[in-house]
Structure 1
């Protein structure tokens, strides 16, 4: 009996550590996109995570794993289009973000529809759903149905166990605003279709929540050239 309990305890411990790592990565991701989060939330320790989000037996209370964040003033300024005669008081292209870890053992159309409706009704500009199980094809189709109200993103928990942007081989990525993109194209006399491309499903593009048509600045370091930048168009 003790061996059985020990096995359950070990399994719960491993699951808690994995979920904690994903929880931290998604907080880092939200912060890196420009949203307001306290450092204590981003750098939560394993012990604090267990005390807050685990049962007495060590199993994770996934239903409690949810949070929202507001964009910083810098983010609002960056993603607010310039005023024009036709639109003298433009609104920012971004808003609050909602993150939730799925508690169910499957992710189908019903769960995705429920999540999308919640984000739309709560006026969240972006919703991130993290699951420990793969998403079904029917659930993916539901995402597009909410595009006019909210931007829904899905991540597999396993893919968040490490922060890909912290890897030494991944250069720094900076998503450009509309104005910065326009200035870049004007400076080099380019059409956006002439820029190299980055797929929207690229892990780093997903990390920053890039949308089609956005441009990312990639900053690399070279022993001979020092720091240099390249640009890619999200498609």
Structure 2
């Protein structure tokens, strides 16, 4: 019986073969999802950043991107301006020292929001410290949650940014606290769509 040669890829399949690293592909997908999320929230994101292809991403950031280069900083020009920063964290455990390091860096900025993209688990002490020291809106995502933009799924209802009074009505209607809205959003959205 003949052995198949695994090093030879038929020409018709070459366009489907990804020759780059898995890490660069994950960063590409996560960064694109974040840019789409920020645009949906009203932040000015250039079309060129959203339309970048994987090969162009690798040409710009490399096959093993530096996390500092992947940071996203954007501002909504309003009064007062809203400034948001996205930080990609490494694969090492996210612990107290990591939180302190990020805080020392971002405390110099005048941020209204911070998004952390983690690749490892956050310790309970680190979570407590983030809730304690960051006085602005902090969102934490695992990179695996950002590989697909769930808002593009056909069965996913569209998120709508509520005005302050609409939010208060929703809180009163469902008898929840502000912090619980995020936890109950799927249940509330199902009820609203019926």
* Same fold, TM-score > 0.5, yes or no: yes
**Structure 2: gaps spanning 5 or more residues:** 1-17
Tell me, yes or no, if the aligned pair for 2:84 and 2:114 is still in contact at 8 Å. Answer: yes
Per-residue deviation at 1:111? 1.0
Out of 70, 76, 96, the position equivalent to 1:71 is: 76
Separation in structure 1 between the aligned mates of residue 52 and residue 123 of structure 2, nearest angstrom: 31
| Cα deviation digits, residues 29-65 of structure 1 (max 9, x gap) | 11111111101112221111101112xxx32322311
Q: What SS does the corresponding residue of 1:230 show, helix, strand or coil?
A: helix
1:157 maps to 143
1:230 maps to 192
- Whether 1:46 aligns to 2:8 is no
2:157 maps to 171
Separation in structure 2 between the aligned mates of residue 195 and residue 201 of structure 1, nearest angstrom: 12
- Whether 1:118 aligns to 2:97 is no
2:31 maps to 23
Length, aligned pairs only: 172
| Cα deviation digits, residues 13-36 of structure 1 (max 9, x gap) | 222111110110011111111111
CA RMSD across the alignment: 2.9
2:94 maps to 107
**Structure 1: gaps spanning 5 or more residues:** 1-9, 77-90, 186-190, 206-216, 221-228
Separation in structure 2 between the aligned mates of residue 21 and residue 163 of structure 1, nearest angstrom: 9
| Cα deviation digits, residues 141-189 of structure 1 (max 9, x gap) | 12112343x222211101100011111111111121114446xx4xxxx
Out of 116, 119, 127, the position equivalent to 1:140 is: 127
1:209 maps to none
| Cα deviation digits, residues 70-102 of structure 1 (max 9, x gap) | 125xxx4xxxxxxxxxxxxxx65x710001111
TM-score (ref. length: structure 1):
0.63
Tell me, yes or no, if the aligned pair for 1:65 and 1:101 is still in contact at 8 Å. Answer: yes
Q: What SS does the corresponding residue of 1:99 show, helix, strand or coil?
A: strand
What is the 5 A alignment of 1:187-202? 192-195=171-174, 199-201=181-183
| Cα deviation digits, residues 201-225 of structure 1 (max 9, x gap) | 46x78xxxxxxxxxxx95x8xxxxx
Separation in structure 2 between the aligned mates of residue 11 and residue 172 of structure 1, nearest angstrom: 35
